[in-house]
Amino acid sequence: MRAMLKLGLTAFGGPVAAIAMMRQEFVLRRDWLSEDEFLEFWGISTLIPGPNAMEFAIHIGYQHAGWPGMIVAGVSYLLPAMLVVLGLSIIYVRLGALPITDAVLYGIKPVVIAILVWAFIGMLGPRLRQKTNLLISLAVFIGYLLGVDPVILMIGAGVLNIIITALVNRDPGSLLPSTFLVGFPLLLRRVVSEVPFTLGRLFLVFLKAGSFMVGSGYVLLAFIQEDLVFRLGWLTEAELLDAIAVGQVTPGPLSTTATFVGYILGGLPAAILATIAMFLPGFLFVLLSLPLLKMLKNSARGKQFLEGLNFAALGLMLGVTGQIASTALVDPITILIAIVMLIILLRTKIQTHWLILIGGLIGLMKILLG
């Protein structure tokens, strides 16, 4: 418990940094896991939907102490980050209209765009040789811009990758035409509807996000944007950017963005409910992951479906980044901030929270200098 609480307070820099800290704590320092077990848990956590670092922590707890260890590890890792985000949410709601807050966010928002682009490039790099599969990412990107629900896009991408692989294996020259891949989302457009805010609907939105978030915590943003910004109209683009910024400057999983969004929509009850809904599927997936992993290892189609989900995640991420960039990049200064921060991220190993801090300071300097 103490170890996970400490990690929950200090795990800045995203899921990879958090998992690296867990290796130092549980493999090297405490000797709770072997290197092989560590890599196995990392692989499992990457395969299943949900926040990777959080699920990694849950796996460690389950391995060390069964069901009680699983619950203690997950809650202990999540709780510090949730409380920090909750505190910032309260400050945001009470002081969000003050000029100093606007100035800080003015500098932070373009940094968030740079971080999203950097994460997208990092995910894209290892997959550049899979040109046929990248058409799936393109189809998902276009489908997202057209308003197709992310869940439909991700499931469709998984099935589509199975079809493509089958066609390629039968005849390497007979790939699905790119026109079909691009047009595929048009067949699945959802009907837009608006409903009043309810805690039950909020719970379902984040339960869906936690159940289908594959590839990166940033994919969560696609679900928030699609459901809460576009479909329900409960959240503005500016508030979504602020939520991302809060998730970046706080420790623990980026998915505690759910806490922030819940609080600004419905206060403390909504914050708690959104957080539970976001992370509950992770606990369930961990319990199912070991037999699932065995099944996937023995199933070529299972591997192809998961690969399709990963390429769908790329398309969703690109769609979200493109749409919220119009809110963050409002003048030459913010564009310059985004470009410079992206170059820094690509050329150094600096942790993202330092860049968020620098962006906030730039915003403060702007208001002080008039």
> CA distances (Å), 49 to each of 44, 180, 274, 279, in order?
10, 27, 17, 11
The one-digit pLDDT tens for each residue of the chain (370 residues) are 677 777 776 665 456 556 666 776 777 777 777 766 776 666 566 667 777 778 878 888 887 777 788 888 888 888 888 898 898 888 888 876 555 667 777 888 888 788 878 878 877 877 777 777 788 888 888 888 887 877 788 788 888 888 878 777 764 444 444 433 433 443 444 444 567 889 999 999 999 888 877 655 667 777 788 888 888 889 888 888 788 777 766 766 777 889 999 999 999 999 999 999 988 888 888 877 767 656 765 677 777 777 787 788 788 778 878 877 887 888 899 999 999 999 998 998 787 778 878 988 998 887 777 6
The CA-CA-CA angle for residues 78, 351, 11, to 5°, reads 20
Pick the closest to residue 252 from 11, 50, 1 (CA basis): 11
> CA distances (Å), 254 to each of 5, 275, 279, 343, in order?
16, 12, 11, 22
**CA 316/CA 155 separation, integer angstroms:** 13
Distant-in-sequence, close-in-space partners of 137: CB < 8 Å, separation ≥ 6? 311, 312, 314, 315, 318
Phi and psi for 172 in degrees, rounded to 5?
A: -55, -20
Q: What six digits make up the tokens of 257?
A: 């963005």
- Determine the longest span between alpha carbons in the chain, in angstroms: 66
Q: Is 188 exposed, middle or buried (CB count within 10 Å of its CB: 0-12, 13-18, 19+)?
A: middle
> CA distances (Å), 200 to each of 86, 195, 224, in order?
20, 12, 15
Ordered by start, the domain boundaries in the chain are 2-368
